[in-house]
Amino acid sequence: MGKPTILLKRIYDEPASTDGVRFLVDRLWPRGISKERARLDAWLKEVAPSDELRRRYHHEAELWTEFRKRYFKELDANPKALDPIREALKRGPVTLLFAAKDPEFNNAAALRDYLLEHLTE
């Protein structure tokens, strides 16, 4: 199997046929988005950072390294929560959807990094 295709997209962006399986990976439902407009395959709240972690770091770029370290520990403690993503990646591309404004420093970007590191082990 080649390198898995894990895309990142804001939930507010239009769905595309190239998205593959679409997972919302935020703990809170995004404001102003209906379930119909989101066109999700699943909402995986369990893979989102804990409320404590989310509040503490709140997408601050200067705290990114520490956020990732703590978030990865949370993911390590709950590997079963990632099963839907792992299974979907066996069939094709996956898009991780997020509501944050920053496309680079958000939980979906950290989750993609985590998955890419752990899927090749």
Per-residue pLDDT tens digits for 14-38: 999 999 999 999 999 999 999 999 9
Domain residue ranges in the chain: 6-12+23-30+40-119
81 within 8 A of 44, measured Cβ to Cβ = yes
d(CA 75, CA 81): 8
- Comparing 104 with 73, which gets the higher pLDDT? 73
Query: How long is the chain?
Result: 121
DSSP string computed for 87-109 = HHHTTS-EEEEE--S-SSSSHHH
CB 49 within 8 A of CB 71: yes
Q: What is the pLDDT of residue 59?
A: 62
What DSSP character marks residue 50? P
pLDDT at 120: 64
